[in-house]
């Protein structure tokens, strides 16, 4: 198990980008895929694409993000890759439907954002779980799912 307890920097920084490029050429760059659900965590255990058992243990002031570098030496680096958050785009057909959809989403404690007249519901877990919950409103024609899942 490899303990990774700090974010050294971001891959987009020029100094780091050059070093990562060189390490990548000798096959030393490992990627650590972190799901959208897990990216908020300060502690988690994951396996890199090269099979390294990694234990991430960050200070509360640090936060994982795409491109975060957790290990860097002359021949090896470990970089975080994250999924972009996925959203279910739901449009209410009228004001009454919008009220009901808004109430329902709040009651479900879903994370949402507003995109003009579309409610964007952040998918945490399986998209089907959200569609199942919305089925009565979809089947009654009160709302329409604009897109199953978009970044």
Partner 1 sequence: MSVETLSVESRPASKVGAARVGIGGPVGSGKTRLLEQLIPRFIERGTKLAVITNDLTTHEDAERLQQSGLIDPEQVRAVETGACPHTAIREDPTLNIQTADELESLYPGLDLVLIESGGDNLASTFSLDLVDYWLFVIDVAGGDDIPRKQGPGVLHCDLLVVNKFDLAPYVGVDLERMRRESLQARGDRPVLFTNCATGQGVDDVVEAIGQAVLFDQS
- Using CB under 8 A as the criterion, which residues of the chain lie in contact with partner 1 when the complex forms? 1, 3, 5-6, 8-9, 13, 15-16, 19, 38, 40-45, 55, 57-62, 69, 72, 108-109, 124-126, 129
Which residue pairs, CB below 8 angstroms and at least 24 apart, start in 113-117? 113/87, 115/89, 117/91, 117/92
- Least distance in Å: CB of 14 to partner 1? 10
**Minimum gap (Å) between residue 118 Cβ and partner 1:** 23
- Residues 6+ away with beta carbon under 8 Å from 2: 52, 53, 54, 55, 71, 78
Whether residue 65 contacts residue 111, with contact meaning beta carbons closer than 8 Å, is answered with no
Question: Whose Cβ is closer to partner 1: residue 97's or residue 105's?
Answer: 105
Report the residue number, 38 or 146, with the smaller CB distance to partner 1.
Answer: 38
Q: Are 122 and 87 in contact (CB under 8 A)?
A: yes
Judged by beta carbon, residue 3 or residue 95, the one nearer partner 1 is 3
At closest approach, how far in Å is the CB of 109 from partner 1? 7
Closer Cβ to partner 1, 55 or 149, answer by number: 55
């Amino acid at each position: 198990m490899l303990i990774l307890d700090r974010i050294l920097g971001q891959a987009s920084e020029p100094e780091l980008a050059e070093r990562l490029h060189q390490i990548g050429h000798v096959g030393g760059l490992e990627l650590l895929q972190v799901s959208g659900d897990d990216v908020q965590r300060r502690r988690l255990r994951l396996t890199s694409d090269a099979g390294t058992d990694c234990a991430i243990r960050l200070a509360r002031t640090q936060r994982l993000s795409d491109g975060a570098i957790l290990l860097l030496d002359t021949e090896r680096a470990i970089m975080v890759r994250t999924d972009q958050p996925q959203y279910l785009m739901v449009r209410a057909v009228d004001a009454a439907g919008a009220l009901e959809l808004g109430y329902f989403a709040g009651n479900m404690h879903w994370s949402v954002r507003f995109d003009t007249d579309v409610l964007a519901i952040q998918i945490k877990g399986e998209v089907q779980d959200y569609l199942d919950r919305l089925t009565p409103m979809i089947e009654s024609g009160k709302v329409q799912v604009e897109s199953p899942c978009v970044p």
